């Protein structure tokens, strides 16, 4: 399976340091079903080379991907910004 980022290449709004949590994928648990790619409202998930990649420049930390993952492979982790 290979699904590229669905976000627009021009005009997408990046995430700021206001993001409270970020999704972290346990690649060992992932079954490559593609649901996180399908449901991410910002289109910042890519599935390629047998793994899931999140573009943290644009991810807003909404947690939809973690909610939708059927095997619990995505955990939301508190951000630790250097301010």
Lookup: tokens for 53: 């990649």
CA within 13 Å, CB half, 82: 0
Quick one: tokens of 51?
Answer: 């793994």
CB 82 → ligand SF4: shortest distance, Å? 20
Q: Does 6 bind ligand SF4 (CB under 6 A)?
A: no
CB 20 within 8 A of CB 78: yes
Chosen residue from 31, 50, 57, 77 binding ligand SF4 by CB under 6 A:
31
Contact residues toward ligand SF4 (CB under 6 A) are 23, 25, 30-36, 40, 42, 44-45, 52, 54, 59-65, 68-69, 71, 73-74
């Amino acid at each position: 399976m290979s699904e590229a980022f669905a976000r627009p290449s021009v005009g997408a709004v990046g995430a700021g340091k206001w993001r409270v949590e970020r999704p972290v994928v346990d690649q060992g648990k992932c079954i490559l079903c593609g649901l996180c790619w399908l449901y991410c409202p910002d289109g910042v998930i890519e599935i390629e080379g047998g793994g899931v990649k999140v573009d943290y420049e644009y991810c807003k930390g909404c947690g939809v991907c973690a909610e939708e993952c059927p095997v619990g492979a995505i955990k939301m982790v508190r951000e630790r910004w250097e301010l």
